[in-house]
Amino acid sequence: MEKNAVIATANDYLVKEKDERFKVEVEQLLKAEDWKELEDRFYRTLEFGTGGLRGVIGGGFNRMNTFVVRSATQGLAAYVIKAFPEKAAKGALSAAIAFDSRRYSPEFAESAALVFAANGIKTYLFSSLRPTPELSYAIRQLGCETGIVVTASHNPKQYNGYKAYWNDGSQVVPPHDAGIINEVNAVTSIKEIDRETAIAKGLLTIIDKDIDEKYHAMVRSKLFRPALIKEKAGEVKIVYTPLHGTGAMHVETVLGSLGLNVITVPEQREGDGDFPTVAFPNPEEAPALKMAVELAAKEAADLVMATDPDADRFGIAVNDGKGGFILVTGNQMGALLADYIFLSLKERGELPANAAIVNTIVTTGMHKRIAAHYGAACIECLTGFKWIADVMRKAELREIPYTIVFGTEESYGYLIENEVRDKDGVSAAAMTAEMTLYWRGKGKSLLDRLNELYGLCGYWQEIGVSKYFQGIEGPGVMNGIMERYRKDPPKTLGGIEVEKVCDISNSVIIYPHNPGKTEPATLPKSDVIQFFLKDGAVVSARPSGTEPKIKFYASCCAEVGSGGLDAAKAEVAAKLDAIKRDIRAVIGD
């Protein structure tokens, strides 16, 4: 990008941006003639993707700031008005907005709310930070046509973003995602109204306690054994961390109301967008749970719980009975919850004949075996919880012949209830507490039950391999890697024969050892390639939809035979190590 073009684009931004803090950033960069930084901020406009926005906070069209938020919301508002013309004509459209603890989240949320209001869309705005699942609940509870949660989920502190939701409480899926993107890209002017006028006209309403209390009651209503919790709650001690995010209010309230002993890590309890005690506020990362595990050891707790900044992701660590704590992966947690939900429904005589769980194509195959054990189905969908919610919507509308009892994905996402259509760390925490008490009553820990499931379903282990490709060249490099895999797919991975390759982007399944044989792939098109190995292992590759990185997922299984669980673990570990080496040889270390 030439210097004059950078200057012209930067000056255009300065005219459009209303927040002086972001304007000053750009003005200082122009004064310092920092052309490299300016080019990165202005070589493109931050893309409104299928899930919304996510980017580094700062001034510039390629950053998260109030102008980018307002422009995106104007496009979303325009699409909503076109999608619901009768309600629009009556002035009956509404939206809900929540935000997390990240820097500028309150400002971004209010900016979006005022754009909706200026477009005649009544907006329900939480006055302070709230979890993503509560935003999804509020949309369904209030009958809104759309919603936004301002969050960058578990990304580093430099990031913020927002996720766009539709009237079923889920993130947008086709055809609405493409329609919204087109409207966002077509925005040339943004409608405006001030806060006082919006409130006076009834176009902006602050919501808090009324939704909070209903949400808490809903979460408690999904528990199977309230009498067990009431009787045994004092037997389990839980250490919890919200990782400086939104979870403390709801997790403490719900678990506390059940009589459970919850100790929150004090240094991480309050919302803080700088996340001062963690590099990544992500319960998937062991370092993020370090302070909680240390406190749990000191308190002789039974369980560590953690939620990410917007409290949709949920992770745990379990006391191993030897003074240490074992971190449970997202796939393992999904297996434990699926098993407990099926078991509980069956014990109560409430397991539907057409029961099913939903998981994504990069989630462990163990879930499918657990479902089969209970005579139920496991439906696979694309990566991203919006696709799980889409399956739930289709089941609710009787478009598919299943009753969905649970949704889960490998990245620490779980959905217990139908009243929410996104992963819910709060309800997962409540159900996990009950599940812990249930198995304790049987003389077992969660780790004991997990080992029993391995004996039943085989030992499963998954790994993730990823690499960031920053800057202007990044997308091209990632596209090149994916295209090489498409044009010349490997015949082996980790020394194991690749039986078939599913190219979801091109809707085709090919067979490397039988080039003339093809089959159609039925999932919606997405930039994903899956390699199905002869021994049952599955390796998936896809560029991230929210970060400049390419991601690989590998899942392997070994039956627990005469050699026992340790032998099965060693067999799987060797396979995964070999697969990882082959992936690294392509993407680099």
SS3 string, 49-64, reads CCCEEEEEECCCCCCE
Q: Which of 153, 445, 540, 555 is catalytic?
A: 153
SS3 string, 491-559, reads CEECCEEEEEEEECCCCEEECCCCCCCEEECCCCCCCCEEEEECCCCEEEEEECCCCCEEEEEEEEEEC
Copy the structure tokens of residue 433: 């507490």
Nearest to 68 by CA among 46, 49, 51, 37: 46
Which domains does the chain carry? 1-41 (no CATH), 44-214 (3.40.120.10), 331-423 (3.40.120.10), 459-587 (3.30.310)
N-to-C CA span, the chain: 30
Pairing of strands 237-241, 303-307: parallel
Nearest to 264 by CA among 222, 215, 306, 221: 306
Query: Is the pLDDT reported for residue 72 higher than 70?
Result: yes
Q: Is 150 within 8 Å of 108 (Cβ atoms)?
A: yes
Query: Is the pLDDT reported for residue 369 higher than 90?
Result: yes
Nearest to 421 by CA among 208, 163, 136: 136
Q: For the segment 222-261, what is each residue's pLDDT rounded down to a tens digit?
A: 999 999 999 999 999 999 999 999 999 999 999 999 999 9
Q: Report the alpha-carbon distance of residue 210 to residue 276 in Å, rounded.
A: 32
Q: Report the alpha-carbon distance of residue 158 to residue 582 in Å, rounded.
A: 32
* Cα–Cα distance list, 90 to 1, 23, 85, 202 (Å): 47, 38, 9, 14
Q: For the segment 170-217, what is each residue's pLDDT rounded down to a tens digit?
A: 999 999 999 999 999 999 999 999 999 999 999 999 999 999 999 999
pLDDT in the model for residue 323: 84
pLDDT in the model for residue 154: 86
Q: Report the alpha-carbon distance of residue 388 to residue 584 in Å, rounded.
A: 30
pLDDT in the model for residue 398: 95
Compare 475 and 441 and report the one with higher pLDDT: 441
Q: Is 426 within 8 Å of 219 (Cβ atoms)?
A: yes
Q: Report the alpha-carbon distance of residue 366 to residue 62 in Å, rounded.
A: 41
Query: Is the pLDDT reported for residue 545 higher than 80?
Result: no
Q: Is 411 within 8 Å of 330 (Cβ atoms)?
A: yes
92 pLDDT band, cuts 50/70/90, is very high
291 pLDDT band, cuts 50/70/90, is very high
Beta-carbon-side half-sphere exposure of residue 570 (alpha carbons within 13 Å) = 6
Q: What is the pTM of this model?
A: 0.93
Q: Is 136 within 8 Å of 420 (Cβ atoms)?
A: yes
The whole-number average pLDDT for the span 525-530 is: 94
Give the containing element (helix H, strand E) for 330: helix 330-347
Nearest to 493 by CA among 426, 447, 419, 553: 553
178 phi and psi, to 5 degrees? -65, -40
Burial of 364 (0-12, 13-18, 19+ CB in 10 A): buried
pLDDT-above-90 percentage for the chain: 93
Q: Report the alpha-carbon distance of residue 260 to residue 252 in Å, rounded.
A: 9
Q: Report the alpha-carbon distance of residue 256 to residue 250 in Å, rounded.
A: 9
Q: Is 251 within 8 Å of 242 (Cβ atoms)?
A: yes
Q: For the segment 419-439, what is each residue's pLDDT rounded down to a tens digit?
A: 999 999 999 999 999 999 999
Q: Is 437 within 8 Å of 236 (Cβ atoms)?
A: yes
Respond yes or no: is residue 170 known to be catalytic. no
pLDDT in the model for residue 588: 84
3-class SS of residue 266 = helix
pLDDT in the model for residue 546: 64
111 pLDDT band, cuts 50/70/90, is very high
Mean pLDDT of all residues belonging to the chain:
95
SS3 string, 124-179, reads EEECCCCCHHHHHHHHHHHCCCEEEEECCCCCCCCEEEEEEEECCCCECCCCHHHH
Q: Report the alpha-carbon distance of residue 388 to residue 365 in Å, rounded.
A: 16
3-class SS of residue 396 = helix
